[in-house]
Structure 1
Amino acid sequence: MINASSKDKGTFEKLIELNDELENYFNNTIIPQLFVDADMILRKFTPAAMKHFKLSSDDVGRHIDEVSNNIRFPTIIENITEVIESGRDLEKEIQTTDKVWYQMNILPYIIRKENRTNGVIITFIDINDRIQILKGYERLNRDYENIIHSISHDIKGPLSNIEGLIRILKSTPESEEDNRRIIDMLSDSVGNLRRTVEDLADINHDTDFAKESERVNFENVIEDAKLALRDKIAESNAKIRAQIGESEICFPRKNIRSIIYNLLSNAIKYRKPGREPVVTISTEKSGEHIMLRMSDNGLGIAEDKQDYIFDRNTRLLTHVEGTGVGLFIVKGMVEATGGRIEVKSKEGEGTTFTLYFK
């Protein structure tokens, strides 16, 4: 009996020692962890979990459903049940309602002798920085894609102007004054093309995953777009009207120029035969947004087609020159900074695009 008593005493002391070690681990780990038993009762949590999820000692012994609002993860009970029933680990990336990303690991707490799961240990690892970096790379990839598409769009106008002016120069000018005027126009087109290429190629400073915004004057950008589209405007006899209520916007210059160029180019391109294009560009303050609206009197868009016009490579009219990526680019650039774009159109009457910039 003495030996049995000594053996029991030794086992008891080992259990106390093991419990002390477990307590020491829970008290010193910097990782938020919860221990929930098979009855969904919160039995223990680390100080880091107390801090992250605003738990208190009063929460020990409560059903996990009663404290799940603190943890701010709605499916945690379902996930705990899944692990207890399957006996397998569960790992997933979650975002709590306060917009913080965690890697959540739910491990079954198994009683080996009885071969049953008696609860789970839940670990939360803050991966918010990693998720933001990954999102940054995704945005950067989209930027590169937009740059490639924008190059194909934005340099067509200046190139078309240069080609047209060169054709005129090859013919016999009526006077020296006409010759000088054409050369000046050619110089302006070359300068505009150079600025466009420089802006589109300037992506080396985007490594912080943020576009470089600056104060941009709407009237200046509209004039740049009109210069780039000079030939198309002259050919169609288009009237471009500007009603500028809000003169400036803080936005990447190359992006706002690409947006206005694409919308204006489309307004002229999709004009109604036999009707001179009239395009009205207006800006104003709208609550917390700066609103840019561009309206035309062109062909318009069928109601059942309006949901698809922002999809990549969508071309509603095959007889009109284009690649179908212009509006896709515009939407991407607006939404990348938290804005939105809306369209209203009626066939045969025209289309209005309204853009809201944060």
Structure 2
Amino acid sequence: MIHRIHNVSYMVFSLNAVEQDFVHYDSKKPTYHFTHTSTYIKKHRQLIEEIDLTIESVLNESILNKNEPMKLQLKEVLLEIEDYQRTFGYLVGTIEKRGTHIYGLEGELKKRKESLHKLRSFIGAEILESLMQNEKDYFISKDSLYVFNNEYLIGEAKKDVLQTKEIPKVVAEKVNLALDDYLKTFKDVVSVERSIGYSNETGLLGRLIVHNQKIRELMAGIENETVILNENLKEDLKKILFGVLFICILISLGLSFFFSSVLTKPIRTLTTELERVVKSNFTDGFSGIKFSDKDEVGILSRRFISMVTTIQDGMKEIKEYSNKIEKQNVALLKSELDFRSTFEQAAVGIAHIDFTGKVLRVNKKLCEILGFSADELLNLNASRKFIRDTIEMNGEQYGKLLLNSTENITLEQQIKHRSGKMIWVYLTCSLKFDKYGIPEYQIWVVQDISERKQAESELLYKNQELDTFCYKVSHDLKGPVASLKGLCSTARMEITDPVAVEYFSQIDLTLIRLNEIICNLIELTKIKEGQIDLTLIDPEVLIRNTMAVLRKTDYFQKIDISVDTYALNELFSDSRYLNTIFLNLLENALKYSRKQEDSFIRVTITDHKKGVLITFEDNGIGIEREFQAKVFDMFFRATDYSKGSGLGLYLVKNAIEKLNGTIDLKSEVGKGTTFFVYLPNLRKKELKASAEVN
């Protein structure tokens, strides 16, 4: 029983050591907060169970029936152990709530600090540094004054942000929210730290010390009672003890020699390993030696090895960090030289501008574009007015850029040259970020596009003139062509010479082709310059009406033509343009069929996206692969077999593009051709947007 009482005292001592190991080692490791498993907690639980079992076994001893005070003290120890275990459970839960690195409240506080660093340009570097320094000072001194200082600084920062007119309202709200989140998380960490305890006299740590001291005091009293109980038993055991005393002395001598050898072995092993590690300048590790956790020598040895291992890891990290810093310095110097060379020799104008509109630096090309010197641009009110006007004209895009919702913005606008004339520039604006992802300044890239704008204006004027000329000439030619056709018809009726009749027949065919070209050119002009009249369209009805127009075409009756409709979407479009599209595609399919009994044309109407997809499939002569990309070009004819004007598919493509649709084809020579026509369901706002783009 005495041995078990001493064993309980030793286990109480070990309980405190395991508790301290958990607090000083595992609770500060990220791996514990990720897995929530600890050998110290497991060991702590085992010791509690062993203490409970040992005390229960002592209470069951019959010898205690005559010693009621000792029995009451043992029961009080059990109750105190239960309170101690409950307090330790609260400590473990609070430590897990606090977390470390990226876990728990400390991880949350780290994220809040990163959010503040990203908004540093709006909060102010000085205030942000003061916040971080107050936080560090608090965790060093545990003085509540630094918490109050941070609360005051954040209040002042929020006032400054709200009063700064240059900061958009959306950004200001984001900054205030980040400041409030940081302050709340910081206070939560402070509260948890206070619950844990700053020293052995406060918080849960202090309560554990009180429990441990009380348990030790109770065990000391129990040991004293054990001594008294032992004295009472001595008289009864004296005779037996004298008989076995000589044997015990011999056994004790042997055991002393054995245990001295066993106890000094870990020290000798540790000494040998340490000499080897020191000789290697702490580059070698320990050779996997292990010590028992049940004795003080083993505990001290394990802690010593852990300390040396920590020193080794620190030396490696310092060396790696030094090498990394040296490489970064070399790379930074090279990057700076490359930047200066690129910045000054760039073929476009470049300016770096801060968020107040101040010009930080410009290159030579920008000076040439604006007609000012570098010093004038850096201190000129005109440049600040240009920046302010640009931001006001493009406020929505600029706001997205500040909030990192877009990488850059591009725009074209006019600015005033030093000479007073207005010039066109193409401007690209993006942000320069530091290593923390916080915007430092804006990068404006400026290109002089005055000549291009002038050329575009002249080209637009020439195109308009050309379209007008084409339309007028086509109209003017229709009259003479009609007259010639009438004369040919009269001549063929009055002349009987077969050769002359044949000549007039050829002239009539030529006039028909010429009239077709003129009509197509007029139709093309109408497509380009006409306005779209939206109505609800039934594509199947329009296609069948077109087939009725083509019913008198050669070989129409010999070709199997089918129209299948599977579309459910509504289609708002212009029936005039659709008639042009359907007529030319069906006419092409008839014209280039193989004129055989198995010839067919299949038209299929299905839903696609918000509009309809119409496929025109035939088994005609097909189009060679090398010509497929050119069939929509003006006046292009893929084969000599074609007798048309070469404008049919060109008209189709222009009409489809006018309706915001697309056309594609798939063809194989000798097997046929399939055209895929996608027509969107148009609305007035879509037409307006398309017109603005055009």
TM-score, structure 1 as length reference: 0.50
Instruction: Determine which structure has more spread, i.e. the larger CA radius of gyration.
Output: 2
Higher strand share: 1
TM-score, structure 2 as length reference: 0.27
